[in-house]
Amino acid sequence: MNTKIWDLRQMEQSSEELDALNEMKDIFENGGLIALPTETVYGLGADARNEQAIHKVYEAKGRPSDNPLIVHIHTLDQIDAFSSGITDEIKKLMKAFWPGPISFIVPLKKGYLCRSVSGGLDSIAVRMPSHPIGRRILQFVDLPIAAPSANLSGRPSPTTFEHVYHDLDGRVDGIVNGDQSEVGLESTVLDCTQFPFRIARPGSITQLMIEAILPNCITTQGALDIDKPIAPGMKYKHYAPDTPVKIIDSLEHQPSSNKNWDKTAFILPRSMRKLVPESATFITLCKDENDIRGANHNLYQILHQLDQDNHIEQAYILGFPINDESTAIMNRMMKAADQVIVKGEEL
């Protein structure tokens, strides 16, 4: 398959942009796949009403078909076609955080979206992205677009055009070239099929932020059923590079000079650069130990970088104390590291 490349960054309100958007709309309406930028990560888009198109998404990603997809919209009015369970509480949160990096799981009204987009569930995750290019595309095509991360399943999510091109060139109809994703982590997923709500996947919109809008609306009680995932990233291995990664719980002293660190990368805040062994590779995670937003933005770019550098055979990344702001990045780090944490004092 020849993959078409579009770059809309310099085309706004031009005849070239109109031609590109018309071409994309035609591809979507005919069951094709297009990777497009969002503020979280790049998404692999397909018409959420088209069973064959959604099958192509699972096939292109190598993704298990019981892993539900998130439907992307550009206006609240679109939800009426596939859900009748939007309460006043849910609407209040949608109006507060949309467009933005949060998805809401709502009851699914059958007959409009294809069955496989929900992974066979009676609920559907929906979100309204804020990325200007992604929004222009969604507004123009005016379709519900299912868009999981535009990468091979299990790999680190893509935050740049280059990441998408590496994984999906020749496997999809088109890729939209945009800037690096601003947020850098997948959206928060809030399960609104019961009240109080539950966070099914942490993201940059945190529990404290949500409850500042709607107090006491989230419960942490009751386990989510991993064998029947209601949100992406719950059941299968995600976010992991091929290069083995381990989390360091803390690092106060430089690791032993008696070890060979030549093929090891240390992924740390810039403020901790002096603690990296001279022979090791230093990769900047963020500015300092309090810069969670910077770490969110950089994490997937770094995980991709590890696999591109043939010199690096293992990596250590600094973990953060768990709190409301760090929950999302630690969720991704733990999966990337296969739950392995080591003590910095033992290195």
| CA separation for the pair 5, 34 (Å, rounded) | 10
The H or E element that residue 93 is part of is helix 88-97
42 is in an annotated binding site: no
123 is in an annotated binding site: no
239 is in an annotated binding site: yes
Closest among 85, 80, 77 to 105, alpha carbons compared:
85
Q: What is the DSSP string of 236-296?
A: S--S--SS-EEEES---SPPPTTS--TTEEEEE-GGGGGGS-TTSEEEE--SSTT-HHHHH
The H or E element that residue 71 is part of is strand 70-72
116 is in an annotated binding site: no
201 is in an annotated binding site: yes
40 is in an annotated binding site: yes
Q: Taking the CB of residue 66, how many other CB atoms lie within 10 A of it?
A: 15
49 is in an annotated binding site: no
Contacts 24+ apart (CB under 8 A), 330-336: 331/201, 331/202, 332/185, 332/238, 332/239, 332/299, 332/300, 333/247, 333/299, 334/247, 335/233, 335/237, 335/238, 335/239, 335/240, 336/156, 336/239, 336/240, 336/241, 336/245, 336/303
Instruction: Mention every residue, 6+ apart, whose C-beta is less than 8 A from residue 119.
Output: 65, 66, 67, 68, 69, 229
The H or E element that residue 5 is part of is strand 4-7
300 is in an annotated binding site: no
279 is in an annotated binding site: no
Name the binding residues for ATP: 63, 67, 149, 157, 201, 239
Q: Where is the binding site for L-threonine, in residues?
A: 40, 72, 127, 147, 187
- List binding-site positions: 40, 63, 67, 72, 127, 147, 149, 157, 187, 201, 239
